[in-house]
Structure 1
């Protein structure tokens, strides 16, 4: 599961200047009650005689939203004379769901979960973007096809199969520390989406130990949670982080927000963090002159593994208005993606951007791995699953960390959810390399 760069706890949405959609956002029945009024407001904005408007919903709030507006949206507005009515919300999944139910969805949305987007394809809510983007610029795992059409593309991406460590640590010290549960900096907190750091662990262990074919089969709902490889991944995570062991260690993991986990390094309470590439900008890791390495050796993976778990922010189209299609073309362009990559922690996987767009050896190395067409890139499995399964998976990691003796019942519950084939499951999760 993925998280926005500034965390999921922020609750105040960012608003664009100009004629914003003044629609009350809520995840309760109030959204339905205001549907007629909301639709009238949007129609009034779009026909008020002002510049054409396109509405955009994403998860960037606060300073991230300002950077997105200034670096990406402002140049688009100036060039095309189209105003972007932007709303940023850390609860964008709930906001989007309420908007769709109320009949007032945004024109364009940016979501971290392809599984969630697939559910909107099944409900005929998304519009194809095939003819609006350069499909050759993106690897197959980033733009999967549904019934011959592509419905989203990545605006930014992060690498997940990595472990961060203080620059002074030798390979031997890292290997030794990896066998000590207390040396892992783990924070499971993330507001309403707490637990996703645990899902990342289990996903990566399965990928590195059992290979991408097993990983993909599981992420597509075709391999039971109670199967040997999946069960073993949970047990390996338990042993590595001390689930059910030292109460103080377990309590630290359960009560620490994922954004603050790296701060434990500064306090010398841990030395390794299994976390995505965005964590490199955290103060504790900057102060520690952080390095990173592929996670496979530390997770007991296969030697020479070139399989990587990745995540991304995916752009999709709900209303194919001329203005919305113009914004889609722009966001998929190398120009827009290059500008966004310069001001935030993620990377563009548009091959037209390339490694040279990044400053510093570490950033270029991370970008090179994400762009390597010979490597196997597997999308974050929980993000690829239907939302109901994704959310249950995240909660199960919290329960398991506290009570590992409940593993069998937790996995059976997940199997029961996964047995429902009515939600849309992805047909492809991994790019097999070339």
Structure 2
């Protein structure tokens, strides 16, 4: 699961030119009829065309939101003279679900989960993008057709997950020794409504590095059972690395710490922890900037492999819910090389657009190196498995990771429950997870 969802919902405090979607969510809880009325008002304002406006829901808040507005949104508004009514929320899945139920979804959404987007596509909530975006500009696993042949999303921003961060100056021998001491790991499972996803990232990455993209993709698509020896081994490996069920203070710290705060002990003197298994975006956290954070591949540090067998990756994916002229222009802009390049200029993320290549110079060494890893044609790239899974399975996986961390003896029951959930006929599974599954 990607890192951005979670924590209390926040939103940009601008005055809105159209009825508030948050107000509509409140109305929904009071009376369904009023929700329908609110939806009708939104449609009426759109039809009247008093102001060219496009609504956008994404997960960026704080500094990320500031960068997104400055680098991506403001150039679009100046060029097209269209106002972007932006709402940033760390609980965007819950916000979007409430908006869709109320009949007032945003025009454009940026989500981290293909599995969630596939469910909206199945419900006919999304607009196909083939006439607006060239899928070949992104390719697998970033932007591929669903079973109906249509492409419904593309990545604005990408990240690498198969990595472990450590302070500059920490030698290889020290890193390898630390990897086998649970207290050396900076672990934070908290993320509001989506708490637990950092644990799912560990399990996914261990499975990918130990058994390869073929096994990983079968599992992420629902074709390999949770009770299989390969998946069970990944859970037990994670248990041993972080001390699940062991030292109470250590487990309590991991369960109670928000993921964004997990690295803070790195900046303490003496350091409270020295390693963090986390996606590339965490390098911009204050503690890792202070510690001159470097990275090693998780295959090298966790499994003593000479090189990663594949990279686990994630992305912030753009989808269209309302086919209006303004929304179409925004989609084209977000898929353009200019908007994609904006993420690479401040070490804030990566683009996988085929029209862009990693810069040969400029920027930080770690950023250039990870950008090259995303383009590595010799190594597979597999999307974050929990983000690919149907939302119900994804959420149950995250909850199971929390319970397992506290009570690893319950693993058999947890895996049986996940298998039972995956066996239901309702979930929509992704057709593609890795760019080269074997």
* TM-score of the pair, normalised by structure 2: 0.94
SS of residue in 2 equivalent to 1:251 = helix
* TM-score of the pair, normalised by structure 1: 0.94
Q: 1:351 touches 1:371 (CA, 8 Å); kept in 2?
A: no
In structure 2, C-alpha distance between the alignment counterparts of 1:25 and 1:424, rounded to whole Å:
28
In structure 1, C-alpha distance between the alignment counterparts of 2:240 and 2:419, rounded to whole Å:
23
Which position in structure 2 is the counterpart of 1:151? 152
In structure 1, C-alpha distance between the alignment counterparts of 2:334 and 2:120, rounded to whole Å:
21
Match of 2:383 among 379, 383, 395: 379
SS of residue in 2 equivalent to 1:65 = helix
Aligned Cα root-mean-square deviation (Å) = 2.0
Which position in structure 2 is the counterpart of 1:299? 302
Deviation at 1:280, TM superposition (A): 0.7
Matches within 5 A, 1:281-292: 281-292=284-295
- The alpha-carbon distance between structure 1 residues 231 and 301, as it changes in their structure 2 partners (threshold 3 A), is farther
SS of residue in 2 equivalent to 1:154 = strand
Deviation at 1:57, TM superposition (A): 1.2
SS of residue in 1 equivalent to 2:85 = strand
Q: 1:181 touches 1:240 (CA, 8 Å); kept in 2?
A: yes
Question: Structure 1, residues 313-367: CA drift from partner, whole Å, max 9, x if none?
Answer: 0001112222211111110001011124335622111132321196121111111
Question: Structure 1, residues 140-161: CA drift from partner, whole Å, max 9, x if none?
Answer: 1001211222110000011000
Q: 2:111 touches 2:318 (CA, 8 Å); kept in 1?
A: yes
Which position in structure 2 is the counterpart of 1:91? 91
Question: Structure 1, residues 159-196: CA drift from partner, whole Å, max 9, x if none?
Answer: 00000011111111111111111111111111111111
- The alpha-carbon distance between structure 1 residues 17 and 352, as it changes in their structure 2 partners (threshold 3 A), is farther
Query: Which segment drifts farther, 150-159 or 421-430?
Result: 421-430
Question: Structure 1, residues 22-70: CA drift from partner, whole Å, max 9, x if none?
Answer: 2315386248454223223323432445332222111122343233222
Which position in structure 1 is the counterpart of 2:423? 419
Matches within 5 A, 1:47-126: 47-126=47-126
SS of residue in 2 equivalent to 1:342 = coil
SS of residue in 2 equivalent to 1:57 = strand
- The alpha-carbon distance between structure 1 residues 278 and 248, as it changes in their structure 2 partners (threshold 3 A), is same
- The alpha-carbon distance between structure 1 residues 245 and 154, as it changes in their structure 2 partners (threshold 3 A), is same
Deviation at 1:17, TM superposition (A): 5.2
Which position in structure 2 is the counterpart of 1:244? 245
> Is the counterpart of residue 389 in structure 1 residue 393 in structure 2?
yes
- The alpha-carbon distance between structure 1 residues 240 and 347, as it changes in their structure 2 partners (threshold 3 A), is same
Q: 1:342 touches 1:358 (CA, 8 Å); kept in 2?
A: no
In structure 1, C-alpha distance between the alignment counterparts of 2:390 and 2:82, rounded to whole Å:
34
Question: Structure 1, residues 238-290: CA drift from partner, whole Å, max 9, x if none?
Answer: 00000011111111111111111111112311111000001111221122121
Matches within 5 A, 1:127-276: 127-146=127-146, 147-267=148-268, 268-276=271-279
- The alpha-carbon distance between structure 1 residues 367 and 17, as it changes in their structure 2 partners (threshold 3 A), is farther
SS of residue in 2 equivalent to 1:299 = helix
Q: 1:110 touches 1:316 (CA, 8 Å); kept in 2?
A: yes
SS of residue in 1 equivalent to 2:398 = helix
Deviation at 1:225, TM superposition (A): 0.4
Q: 1:375 touches 1:433 (CA, 8 Å); kept in 2?
A: no
In structure 2, C-alpha distance between the alignment counterparts of 1:279 and 1:358, rounded to whole Å:
20
In structure 2, C-alpha distance between the alignment counterparts of 1:348 and 1:34, rounded to whole Å:
42
> Is the counterpart of residue 26 in structure 1 residue 25 in structure 2?
yes
